[in-house]
Structure 1
Amino acid sequence: MSDVVKSLSTRLTTAADKPVSTPTREEAEAAVRTLIRWAGDDPTREGLLDTPKRVAKAFREFYSGYGEDPSEILDKIFAEVEGYDDIVLVRDIPFHSHCEHHMVPFFGVAHVAYYPTKGVVGLSKLARLVDAYARRLQTQETMTSQIAKAMVNALDPRGVAVMIEAEHMCMSMRGIQKAGAMTLTTQFTGIFKEEPAEQVRFLTLVRNSRG
Structure 2
Amino acid sequence: MRDVDYEKIEKAVTMILEAIGEDPEREGLIDTPSRVAKMYAEVFEGLNKDPKDYFKTVFNENHDEVVLVKDIPFHSMCEHHLVPFFGHAHVAYIPRDGVVAGLSKLARAVETTARRPQLQERITSTVADAMMEMLNPIGVYVVIEAEHMCMTMRGIKKPGAKTVTTVARGIYEHDDVKRAEILSLIKMD
Q: Which TM-score band applies after superposition, normalised by the shorter structure?
A: over 0.9
1:85 aligns with 2:60: no
Partner of residue 40, structure 1: 21
- The alignment of Structure 1 onto Structure 2 pairs a total of residues equal to 188
Cα distance in 2 for partners of 1:205, 1:25 equals 44
Report if the CA contact (8 A) 2:52-2:109 is conserved: no
Q: 2: CA distance between counterparts of 1:108 and 1:30?
A: 31
| TM-score of the aligned structures, taking structure 1 as reference length | 0.86
- Secondary structure of 2:134's aligned partner: helix
Please give the alpha-carbon distance, in whole angstroms, between the structure 2 residues aligned to 1:102 and 1:192: 33
Residue among 149, 166, 169 paired with 1:189:
169
Does residue 71 (structure 1) correspond to residue 52 (structure 2)? The answer is yes
> Quick one: distance in 2 between partners of 1:70 and 1:147?
7
User: SS of 2:157's equivalent?
Assistant: coil
1:13-72 deviation line (CA, Å, top 9, x unaligned):
xxxxxx5x5563222211110011122211111111111110000001111111212121
1:110 maps to 2:89: yes
Moved over 6 A (4+): none
TM-superposed deviation, 1:77: 0.3
Residue in 2 that maps onto 1:16: none
- The residue number in structure 2 matching 1:159 is 139
- RMSD between superposed Cα atoms in Å: 1.2
Out of 110, 113, 119, the position equivalent to 1:139 is 119
Question: What SS does the corresponding residue of 1:84 show, helix, strand or coil?
Answer: coil
In 1, Cα distance between the equivalents of 2:115 and 2:79? Answer: 11
Alignment deviations for residues 57-101 of structure 1 (CA, whole Å, 9 cap, x no partner): 00011111112121211110001x1x2100000000000001000
Alpha-carbon distance in 2 for matches of 1:23, 1:106 = 22
> Which whole-Å deviations, capped at 9, do the CAs of 1:104-155 have from their partners, x for residues lacking one?
1100000000000141000001000000111111111111111110000110
**Aligned counterpart, 2:103:** 123
The alignment status of 1:198 with 2:172, answered yes or no, reads: no
State the match for 2:43 in structure 1. 62
CA distance in 1, matches of 2:173, 2:40: 37
Identity %: 51
Point out where structure 1 has 5 or more consecutive residues left out of the alignment.
Answer: 1-18
Q: Are the aligned partners of 2:6 and 2:38 in contact in 1 as well (CA < 8 Å)?
A: no
Change (3 A) 1:143 1:85: same
Q: Is it true that 1:177 corresponds to 2:152 in the alignment?
A: no
CA distances 1:154-188 after superposition (whole Å, capped 9, x unpaired)? 10000000000000000011001001001000000
Alignment partners' CA distance in 2, 1:183 and 1:22:
32
